[in-house]
A and B are shown apart, each in its own frame.
Chain A
Amino acid sequence: MILVWIVMLPIIGGLIARLSGRFGRTFPAWVCLGALAIDIALAVGLWLGAGANARGAWIVETKMPWIPQLGISVHLAMDGLSLVLVALTFFLGICAVVSSWTEVKERVGFFHLNLMLTLAGITGAFLAMDLFLFYFFWELMLIPMFLLIALWGHENRRYASIKFFIFTQAGSLLMLVAILALFFIHGRATGEYTFSYGALLGTPMGYTTELLLMLAFFAAFAVKLPAFPVHTWLPDAHTEAPTAGSVILAGLLLKTGGYGLIRFVIPLFPEASFNFAPIAFALAVVGIVYGAVLAFGQTDLKRLIAYTSVSHMGFVLLGVYAWNELALQGALVQMVCHGVSTGALFMIAGSLQERLHSRDLSGMGGFWTSAPKMGAVMLVFALASLGLPGLGNFVGEFLVLIGVFSVSPEAAVFAASGLVLSAIYSLWIVQRVFHGPQKITVADFRGHEMAAMASMIAVIVWLGLFPQPVLDLFGQTLKTLNVTTARPVETGIDKFKAGPAVYRINLSTGVQKK
């Protein structure tokens, strides 16, 4: 039941926030903070108890019938992968609420309702173990996100919001068709008509069918991730969204794409995925380099950060399709760290926009004098983004590159060039905004903004210096994924089974095989 509460709490909090909008501008924000704080406490509690409780594959699991006529159940389950992503969801949710504390002035209650509904949809998608339920949550997050962009966004919000919605919907409708096809294929083969994830794994089907279904799932997740060439909605949506919307988009919504690839695409369609891997590598590498190059050419601060997301999420795609333990661990750490660091960069961009009413880089410069705290924070996250050792993003990208190197050295080499480019654009941002002659003065960060930033820095540093607890949590999931994905040996996909080795990462001794 605790999982049901974890999903319901944001919805309840959002409804109360909507109703309480009339009591004052900050009241809804406090309600949301309260709900999210309880949720994060629940997640941490599960984390602390995880070692003791985890007997089977799941840390905690809830299952009850919902629409028995169609074999649909409310099946929520949490393993290490879900737990970390759910904790990230609530953490960034709190940051998003804080970041819109003074930015949102109109329809405050309704704004917070949409924010919380998006978070509930994302949480549900991370926990659903029934494909219908997953699709339900997958769709549920879109409308409130659409409204967040369309109602509280910047100048070009209408275009951006509709583009966002139509891109993601086109992908997910293809996935819906594939889910139903899988449902019937499984039902005909076994006589059991169900949407249960556990049952659908290992559904026997012909190779062509598997390939087509895999492509349909991949389409949905590639749009969200986003992978080149279906990334074009992202710069528009991220740029036009209000700060909280950008934080959630970059920090969480993109992660649902990566999660879907790991949880669904490869375990459900291992053979087709294996053969598809070279294409996925190519798309990932193109995305990494292309995103970085385009980022360099932007004059709009938020648009620049948006393109860096395309580049960084390429590493996730790369790591997932390498499908070995190192690369997957890397992809997951990269998802968390990118969520935090890009979220923080969007929050800085948002507070600059709030102060300057502009995102144009040419109008900025020399802010360090008037806003040293903001400058220092920006520097930290810029360094995180370029992959400075000691910060979390380094761990993620490094692990991905090692893992990919053993599968495809070429992909690793080209992807590594993305690191060089990210160094250029990250430092360039800091230089353009905070150095040079002082054009105008801006007010520095206030208390609540510094509190959010400090906690985000703490997370990044923690993951950079001591990622082992998170890697251990992921490790459990990877073992079960490994078991569920394994197919009979004659299909010749041994490469897809993660090796038995357990890697330990330790800053003093480097990577060790244990």
Chain B
Amino acid sequence: MSPAEFSALLPLLILAASAALLTAVAGFYRNHGFVAGFTMAAFVLSFASLFFAKSAAPVAVTPLLLVDDFALFFMGLTFAASFVLTLLSYGYNGGAEGRHTEYYILLMLSALGAAVLAASRHFASFFLGLETLSVSLFGLVAYMRTARGNEAGLKYLVLAGASSAFLVFGMALVYAATGSMEFSGTGALKGAEGGAVMTAGMAMIIAGAGFKLAVVPFHGWTPDVYEGAPAPVGAFVASVSKGAVIVVLMRLMSGALLPGRPLFIFLTVVAVASMFAGNLLALFQENVKRVLAYSSIAHLGYLLVAFLASGTFAAGAVAFYLAAYFVSIIGAFGVVTVLSKNGSDMEKLESYRGLARRNPLVAAIFTAMFLSLAGIPLTAGFVGKFYLVAAGAASSMWLLVLSLALSSVIGFYYYLRIILVLFAPDPEQGPPEFIHPAGSAALIALFAVLLFLGVYPGPLLSLVGAAAAGFGQ
């Protein structure tokens, strides 16, 4: 392995080594504070090593991985998100109990899987990354061993299995058509005459990935899993796991999405259906986690607008939107996390009544996160949505752009509804909830990033612009 390849792989190596080390240490020392601190340190180190990798990038490490600016950008996002989620989980899991050690190991492994996905350029690494991610998440979803958690975990397992089956079958078909397992090898046939086998293979890959992305019609599992999973894990499923799959799909399909072709039409239908179904189904939910689940379905629909637009500008839009969406959705789940007590999540909408008086700061942060998801100015979500619409408009995809605009009008209703509950007076005004300091720190940091990106998005725009430069061809 050359030095360049080594530095390019350094972030992945650090994370993998940390997970292995923690597994070994867990045999005799299981202090909660130590484990969480170790995990956070691992994420910080991996994040720092991205700068070494950047100096070497872009570099292809074996036929499997391509560490370029876009992969590094997404890894950075993943590590930062995982760091914040570790902080939130520390407050959420609470106490010094030893039984939480594996939770953090699984968190590191799933982040590793996401990072591999972001860098993969070969079906083998695609599949390996995805399985690392899914298997760890299955453990995390069911980690609390409550009845609902077990149900959610089982659902997630069955779905992950089914989607992997689709994926592998699709890969096999594409291989049969092209004779190559590398994304670049399939590329030769992508735009031109792929034939029915190629199209069928790609469609199956999209279906398999569609389960992970929870876009309509593959979205059925989402609300139940989000509801049953611990809140920080829900945040991870909604953010990192979906983002990684989007990134790998972008690499796979770069240049293959030509307007008028069957795949393009199929994905257009999926996007429009996700936007409307997600927003409409969220209208009548009484459970905050379910609202967030449906909202995330709609947001993936929005993201597909830029995905379909393809090209450098659109890739930048996807990257920026992912960052904005990560901050908002993790922030929203984060508020649920810090308010949850003793293993039962605070998820009933009614229990948030009067929060603005009990915990003004938490209510303000929650409001900001919802406004960002709704795409209101001063928040990151606004710039992100603006960028998405711009990407769609640049490619003249008016159907998708108008669907985005109209369906987000529906979305305003449920976001506002939650905000109104926060500010409504509570007849039985209870005392302020105790907020774990780790949780508060994470929330305040997310809030600051949200506002910064909303007011001064310039630096991040430059970053995503540079990262997306590789998607020109």
A-to-B contact residues, CB < 8 Å: 66-70, 132, 135-137, 139-140, 142-143, 146-147, 150-151, 158, 161-162, 165-166, 169-170, 173-174, 176-177, 180-181, 183-184
| Contact A140–B377 (Cβ < 8 Å) | yes
| Contact A69–B458 (Cβ < 8 Å) | yes
Q: Which of B353-410 contact A (CB under 8 A)?
A: 371, 376-378, 382, 386-387, 389-390, 393-394, 398, 401-402, 405-406, 408-409
Residues of A within 8 Å of B371, CB to CB, are: 143
B-to-A contact residues, CB < 8 Å: 371, 376-378, 382, 386-387, 389-390, 393-394, 398, 401-402, 405-406, 408-409, 412-413, 416-417, 420, 423, 457-458, 461-462, 465
Q: A150-B420, A169-B409 are in contact. Are A67 and B376 (CB under 8 A)?
A: no
Contact of B412 among A69, A151, A165 (CB under 8 A): A165
Residues of A within 8 Å of B420, CB to CB, are: 150, 158, 161-162
| Contact A70–B390 (Cβ < 8 Å) | yes
Residues of A within 8 Å of B401, CB to CB, are: 177, 180
| Contact A170–B409 (Cβ < 8 Å) | yes
Residues of B within 8 Å of A181, CB to CB, are: 393
Contact of A180 among B389, B416, B417, B465 (CB under 8 A): B389
| Contact A170–B462 (Cβ < 8 Å) | no
Q: Which 9 A-B pairs have the closest CB atoms?
A: A173-B405, A180-B393, A69-B461, A139-B377, A170-B409, A136-B377, A180-B390, A140-B377, A67-B458
Contact of A174 among B377, B405, B462, B465 (CB under 8 A): B405
Contact of A66 among B376, B386, B387, B458 (CB under 8 A): B458
Cβ-closest chain B residue relative to A141:
B377
Q: A66-B458, A67-B461, A169-B409 are in contact. Are A176 and B386 (CB under 8 A)?
A: yes
Of B387, B389, B390, B457, most buried by chain A (CB within 10 Å of CB) is B390
Cβ-closest chain B residue relative to A117:
B378
A-B contact pairs, 10 of them (CB 8 A): A67-B458, A69-B461, A70-B390, A135-B377, A139-B376, A150-B416, A161-B420, A162-B420, A180-B389, A181-B393
Q: A69-B458, A176-B389 are in contact. Are A166 and B405 (CB under 8 A)?
A: no
| Contact A162–B416 (Cβ < 8 Å) | yes
- How far apart sit A135 and B398, CA to CA, in the bound complex (Å)? 20
Q: A66-B458, A67-B461, A151-B423 are in contact. Are A176 and B376 (CB under 8 A)?
A: no
| Contact A184–B406 (Cβ < 8 Å) | no
- How far apart sit A151 and B413, CA to CA, in the bound complex (Å)? 16
- How far apart sit A180 and B401, CA to CA, in the bound complex (Å)? 10
| Nearest CB of chain A from residue B52's CB, rounded to whole Å | 27
- How far apart sit A140 and B376, CA to CA, in the bound complex (Å)? 7
| Contact B382–A139 (Cβ < 8 Å) | yes
Cβ-closest chain B residue relative to A171:
B409
Cβ-closest chain A residue relative to B391:
A180
- How far apart sit A296 and B209, CA to CA, in the bound complex (Å)? 60
Residues of A within 8 Å of B406, CB to CB, are: 170, 173
- How far apart sit A68 and B402, CA to CA, in the bound complex (Å)? 26
Residues of B within 8 Å of A137, CB to CB, are: 377
- How far apart sit A234 and B458, CA to CA, in the bound complex (Å)? 38
- How far apart sit A112 and B377, CA to CA, in the bound complex (Å)? 20
- How far apart sit A183 and B377, CA to CA, in the bound complex (Å)? 19
Residues of B within 8 Å of A183, CB to CB, are: 390, 393
Interface of B is mostly: helix
Residues of A within 8 Å of B417, CB to CB, are: 162
| Nearest CB of chain A from residue B359's CB, rounded to whole Å | 14
Given contacts A66-B458, A177-B393, list 12 more A-B pairs with CB under 8 A.
A67-B457, A69-B465, A136-B382, A137-B377, A139-B376, A143-B376, A150-B420, A151-B423, A162-B412, A162-B413, A162-B420, A180-B393
Residues of B within 8 Å of A140, CB to CB, are: 377-378
- How far apart sit A180 and B371, CA to CA, in the bound complex (Å)? 22
Q: A136-B377, A146-B416 are in contact. Are A177 and B402 (CB under 8 A)?
A: yes
- How far apart sit A245 and B394, CA to CA, in the bound complex (Å)? 39
Residues of A within 8 Å of B390, CB to CB, are: 70, 180, 183-184
Cβ-closest chain A residue relative to B374:
A169
| Contact A165–B416 (Cβ < 8 Å) | yes
Residues of A within 8 Å of B408, CB to CB, are: 173
Cβ-closest chain B residue relative to A151:
B423
Cβ-closest chain A residue relative to B390:
A180
| Nearest CB of chain A from residue B355's CB, rounded to whole Å | 14
- How far apart sit A509 and B462, CA to CA, in the bound complex (Å)? 62
- How far apart sit A407 and B371, CA to CA, in the bound complex (Å)? 45
- How far apart sit A67 and B386, CA to CA, in the bound complex (Å)? 13
- How far apart sit A150 and B376, CA to CA, in the bound complex (Å)? 17
Residues of B within 8 Å of A169, CB to CB, are: 409, 412
| Contact A173–B409 (Cβ < 8 Å) | yes
- How far apart sit A194 and B386, CA to CA, in the bound complex (Å)? 14
Residues of B within 8 Å of A70, CB to CB, are: 387, 390, 461
- How far apart sit A143 and B454, CA to CA, in the bound complex (Å)? 15
Residues of B within 8 Å of A173, CB to CB, are: 405-406, 408-409
- How far apart sit A411 and B346, CA to CA, in the bound complex (Å)? 59
- How far apart sit A147 and B398, CA to CA, in the bound complex (Å)? 33
- How far apart sit A71 and B376, CA to CA, in the bound complex (Å)? 20
Residues of A within 8 Å of B386, CB to CB, are: 132, 176, 180
| Nearest CB of chain A from residue B432's CB, rounded to whole Å | 16
| Contact B393–A184 (Cβ < 8 Å) | yes
| Contact B412–A184 (Cβ < 8 Å) | no
| Nearest CB of chain A from residue B362's CB, rounded to whole Å | 15
Cβ-closest chain B residue relative to A175:
B405
Residues of B within 8 Å of A142, CB to CB, are: 376
| Contact B458–A166 (Cβ < 8 Å) | no
| Nearest CB of chain B from residue A70's CB, rounded to whole Å | 7
| Contact A69–B409 (Cβ < 8 Å) | no
Residues of B within 8 Å of A150, CB to CB, are: 416, 420, 423
| Nearest CB of chain A from residue B397's CB, rounded to whole Å | 11
Residues of A within 8 Å of B465, CB to CB, are: 69
- How far apart sit A174 and B393, CA to CA, in the bound complex (Å)? 12
| Nearest CB of chain A from residue B309's CB, rounded to whole Å | 12
Of B402, B420, B461, most buried by chain A (CB within 10 Å of CB) is B420
| Nearest CB of chain A from residue B241's CB, rounded to whole Å | 29
Residues of B within 8 Å of A158, CB to CB, are: 420
| Nearest CB of chain A from residue B311's CB, rounded to whole Å | 13
- How far apart sit A456 and B387, CA to CA, in the bound complex (Å)? 44
- How far apart sit A180 and B417, CA to CA, in the bound complex (Å)? 29
| Nearest CB of chain A from residue B457's CB, rounded to whole Å | 6
- How far apart sit A174 and B465, CA to CA, in the bound complex (Å)? 27
- How far apart sit A253 and B253, CA to CA, in the bound complex (Å)? 46
- How far apart sit A158 and B462, CA to CA, in the bound complex (Å)? 41
- How far apart sit A158 and B465, CA to CA, in the bound complex (Å)? 42
- How far apart sit A177 and B401, CA to CA, in the bound complex (Å)? 7
- How far apart sit A146 and B457, CA to CA, in the bound complex (Å)? 26
- How far apart sit A437 and B289, CA to CA, in the bound complex (Å)? 59
| Contact B412–A166 (Cβ < 8 Å) | yes
- How far apart sit A177 and B386, CA to CA, in the bound complex (Å)? 9
| Nearest CB of chain B from residue A450's CB, rounded to whole Å | 34
- How far apart sit A139 and B398, CA to CA, in the bound complex (Å)? 22
Residues of B within 8 Å of A146, CB to CB, are: 416
Residues of B within 8 Å of A174, CB to CB, are: 405
Q: A150-B423, A158-B420, A184-B393 are in contact. Are A68 and B458 (CB under 8 A)?
A: yes
Cβ-closest chain A residue relative to B458:
A67
Residues of A within 8 Å of B382, CB to CB, are: 136, 139
Residues of A within 8 Å of B413, CB to CB, are: 162, 166
| Nearest CB of chain A from residue B206's CB, rounded to whole Å | 27
- How far apart sit A16 and B36, CA to CA, in the bound complex (Å)? 39
| Contact A177–B389 (Cβ < 8 Å) | yes
Q: A166-B409, A173-B406, A177-B401 are in contact. Are A147 and B423 (CB under 8 A)?
A: yes
- How far apart sit A143 and B371, CA to CA, in the bound complex (Å)? 9
Residues of A within 8 Å of B377, CB to CB, are: 135-137, 139-140
- How far apart sit A132 and B408, CA to CA, in the bound complex (Å)? 19
| Contact B462–A69 (Cβ < 8 Å) | yes
- How far apart sit A142 and B389, CA to CA, in the bound complex (Å)? 21
| Nearest CB of chain A from residue B159's CB, rounded to whole Å | 34
Cβ-closest chain B residue relative to A147:
B423
- How far apart sit A169 and B398, CA to CA, in the bound complex (Å)? 19
